[in-house]
Amino acid sequence: MYELGVIGLGHIGVPIVNGALSGKAVSPDQVILYGHHLERLEPLLLAGASAAKNEIEVASSCHYLLLSVKLQSLSELLPKIKPFLRPDHVIISIAAGISARYLKNALGEDTKIVLAMPNTPLQLGFGTTALSRIEPATQDEFAFAMRIFGVSGSAEEIPAELMNEVIALNGSSPAFFYRITQIFADRASQYGFNHETAMRLICGSMIGAAHMMLSSGTSLDDLIQAVCSKGGTTIAGLTAMNDAHLDQALIAGMEACTQRAYELGK
């Protein structure tokens, strides 16, 4: 019996397994994998993980089953694995918009579930993952899921009813940050900056600002004011952004992201 089984080895599944192995959250001989892209499996197999012939072999031979498949594949996968699940199985799902109720309707009311929303910086060990424990999953079982993701960055427990809302904060937000950076970098190029230089300046500032927000013990309002001087450049920039309705644009993006998550879960 394997400790961790993984179905789906895409751009999130592979880094999750890589992180779990390198962070020693689980030993390679306790991992069994199934995915359609054999080239993605090879490095994990070289590390000591096992390959399954199909999804059923994974589901029938592990304790924790991580589902890392595309949304359109999930509805086909769940009835396929249901007959092979045991009472001690713990299903870990990273599918955006898919609720515990959806999974229980498909797999059974007594299914142990952990919902997880990771993000792509996990590929470099800087991911943030929001997780929620769904009874009858135990605290110990949830702690294992937290370790699997936490070794590739950080993991936070949140209420299950906020799993759709967290996507804008966590799962999708890297794309929002990339878009903002792209706007800054494109404008910098128009000013005459070399692209690589501009990226180092922008990204370095973002990293530093993130550390200030997390570690300085100072409120966001005070941090903003610390950069501003009366009649100065920062005030001019913030005023122009406010006049262009930056707040409304960002909130609209968050709301659209959340709404789509609810639509996907229907």
The per-residue pLDDT for 106 is: 96
All residues at 6 or more sequence positions from 209 whose CB lies less than 8 Å from its CB, including other chains: 223
Confidence of residue 41 (pLDDT cuts 50, 70, 90): confident
The per-residue pLDDT for 265 is: 84
pLDDT in tens, 161-195: 999 999 999 999 999 999 999 999 999 999 999 99
In this prediction the pTM is: 0.93
The per-residue pLDDT for 266 is: 78
The per-residue pLDDT for 10 is: 87
The per-residue pLDDT for 77 is: 96
Q: How many CB atoms lie within 10 A of CB 105?
A: 12
Instruction: Name the β-bridge partners of 5.
Output: 32, 65
The per-residue pLDDT for 38 is: 78
| Residue 39 predicted with pLDDT over 90 | no
| Residue 72 predicted with pLDDT over 90 | no
The per-residue pLDDT for 119 is: 96
More confident residue, 186 or 40: 186
pLDDT in tens, 191-247: 999 999 999 999 999 999 999 999 999 999 999 999 999 999 999 999 999 999 999
Mean pLDDT along residues 254-258: 98
| Residue 133 predicted with pLDDT over 90 | yes
pLDDT in tens, 77-131: 999 999 999 999 999 999 999 999 999 999 999 999 999 999 999 999 999 999 9
CA distance 114 to 66: 9
pLDDT in tens, 13-35: 999 999 999 999 999 999 999 99
